[in-house]
Structures are given as C-alpha cells and as structure tokens.
C-alpha cells in the first residue's frame, strides 16, 4: 500500500525484517504489488503484518485483527495515527482552490478506499459542493491518480496525505508539479493487520515490537526516511467513524462523485 517506489519498498522490507527480529516472530516477505487486488491479500489466513485501509477494515468483511498503525511525522498529524486526503491538481494549471474544480473531472481510486473515495465524497457532501461533470476511475493507486492529474485526464484527484509526504521526500520533482487545492479532515490511519486466526501471543509480540520501534536504534534510522515518528496501538472501534461518514455521504446524495 505504501511502497511508493523501489527505495520506499526496500525501507519497509527492512523495517518489517527488524520487527520480525525484535518480536521473534518469523515473517516471510510476500510480493503483492499493484494492480494485485488488496481484497485477495486481506482474505489470506496467514497474514502476520499487512496494511489495510481503514474503511474496508471497519466493514468487517475481512477476517483481520488490528496490530498497530503508523504515526506520520508531519506536524499536521499531531503525533497521532491519522491522515487525510489532499485534493491535488497540476501546479502549472488554472485551479487554485477546490471550488475551481467544481463541474470538472475528478478522479478516484476504488470504492472501498477511504482516502481515494470515501473521504472525498464525505468532504464534498459536508461543504455542499456541486456535482462534478465526470468521475474517472477506478484509478486504483495513488500513483495512477498522480499520473492522471499530470497528463490532464482529470482536473483534480485524491492523494493520501502520507503518500504525498513520501512523494515530497523521495520524489520532490514530481511533488513540485502538484498543487493541493484542499485537504479533508483527519481520519484514522490505515493500519497493520494480522489474519483473524493468528494467535493472540503472536499479535501481542508484533504489536509490542512496533510500538517500541522508535526506541530501537536499528529501526529508528528507518523511520525518518519513511516519514514516521513510530507506531501506535489501535482497535477496531477506532475505525467506526469511517462507516458513519460513508453513510452520511450516501444520505446526502454523494454515493458517487458525478
């Protein structure tokens, strides 16, 4: 989910290897890069640590249990495991505020995405926005949203704020070509999960290793380039607000973006 490119993917692999070492839990690396469906991954019975978007996790359609969530290091997150959606357009284009995009073309990733769909429609409903002329999707990944914005297929698109942070850090030339028109309210961050059948003791050891990672010397050197201050324990109940927001968007007539 957050393997933005080869360098970032390698950082995550090194971090998970350190978590495995500290916890004493063997974790075998599994390649599941986009466009492989995340739904397939979340149905596996043998997940030790995998990212799950908060909205599909909250629906309880997948046999998953929470382990911990990343805490992004940016000031706007306030030291909490939260994130937002940055609604972005081309930096060299005519759009300067979100209202400039109304009636145009908006992109979306997948319908079960919090940052790429549900946060967007909840925000548009809350501000009383008019409909867009066209909703382009599913674009599936943040990378494809970026490409669609830059090549002019869409006027505005949703970008996970933590992905945006990683982009700014690791691909500043690409980030500089984007302009943030608006940012949605903060919501619970995508979390690391284990399969429901994983033993309590194993989940506890993995959680303890993640929550203590900021004090672990070898791992601490990986957190900074990943734009993280650490990890925090989370519960299933923390994500219930995402379902409430989606229901509110439905009730306001924002089941779709156009």
- CB-count exposure of residue 216 (10 Å: 0-12, 13-18, 19+): middle
Number of domains making up the chain:
2
pLDDT of residue 88: 99
Please report the pLDDT score of residue 223 as a whole number.
97
The domain in which residue 163 lies consists of 83-186
- Walking along the chain (258 residues) 10 residues at a time, the average pLDDT comes out as 93 96 94 79 93 96 96 97 99 98 98 97 98 97 98 99 98 99 99 97 98 92 97 97 97 97
3-class DSSP state of 249: helix
Q: What is the CATH number of the domain that holds 219?
A: 3.40.190.10
Query: Across the strands, what pairs with 230?
Result: 71
Q: Which of 186, 204, 231 is the last residue of a domain?
A: 186
143 in any annotated domain: yes
In a domain, 254, yes or no: no
Pair 115, 165: CB distance under 8 Å:
no
- pTM of the predicted model, to two decimals? 0.95
Q: Quick check: 16 and 29 in contact, CB under 8 A?
A: yes
Is the domain of 90 the same as that of 182?
A: yes
Mark which of 147, 165, 186 sits at the end of a domain: 186
Identify whether residues 177 and 234 lie together within a single domain. Answer: no
- Contact residues for 122 (Cβ-Cβ < 8 A; gap 6+): 184, 245, 246, 248, 249, 254
Task: Specify whether 141 is located in the same domain as 88.
Answer: yes
Can you give the pLDDT at residue 12?
96
Q: Half-sphere exposure of 101 toward its Cβ, with a 13 Å CA cutoff?
A: 30
Q: Which DSSP helix (H) or strand (E) runs through 222?
A: helix 217-223
Alpha-carbon distance 145 to 137, whole Å? 9
Same domain, 151 and 91: yes
With residue 136 as reference, give the H or E element that holds it: strand 134-136
* 75 and 192 fall within a common domain: yes
């Amino acid at each position: 989910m957050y393997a933005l490119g080869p360098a970032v993917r390698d950082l995550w692999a090194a971090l998970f290897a350190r978590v495995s070492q500290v916890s004493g839990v063997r974790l075998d690396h599994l390649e599941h890069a986009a466009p492989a469906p995340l739904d397939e991954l979340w149905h596996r019975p043998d997940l030790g640590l995998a990212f799950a978007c908060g909205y599909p996790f909250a629906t309880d359609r997948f046999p998953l249990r929470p382990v911990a969530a990343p805490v992004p290091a940016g000031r706007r997150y306030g030291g909490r495991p939260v994130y937002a959606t940055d609604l972005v357009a081309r930096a060299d284009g005519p759009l300067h505020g979100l209202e400039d995009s109304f009636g145009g073309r908006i992109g979306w990733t997948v319908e079960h995405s919090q940052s790429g769909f549900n946060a967007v429609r909840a925000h548009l409903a809350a501000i009383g926005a008019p409909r867009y002329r066209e909703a382009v999707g599913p674009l599936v990944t943040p990378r494809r949203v970026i490409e669609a914005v830059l090549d002019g297929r869409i006027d505005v698109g949703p970008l996970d704020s933590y992905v945006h942070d990683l982009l700014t850090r690791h691909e500043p030339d690409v980030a500089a070509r984007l302009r943030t028109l608006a940012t949605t309210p903060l919501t619970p961050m995508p979390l690391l999960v284990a399969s429901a059948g994983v033993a309590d003791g194993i989940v506890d050891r993995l959680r303890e290793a993640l929550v203590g990672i900021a004090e672990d010397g070898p791992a601490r050197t990986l957190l900074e380039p990943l734009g993280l201050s650490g990890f925090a324990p989370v519960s299933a109940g923390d994500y219930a607000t995402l379902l409430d927001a989606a229901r509110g968007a439905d009730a306001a007539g924002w089941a779709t973006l156009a």
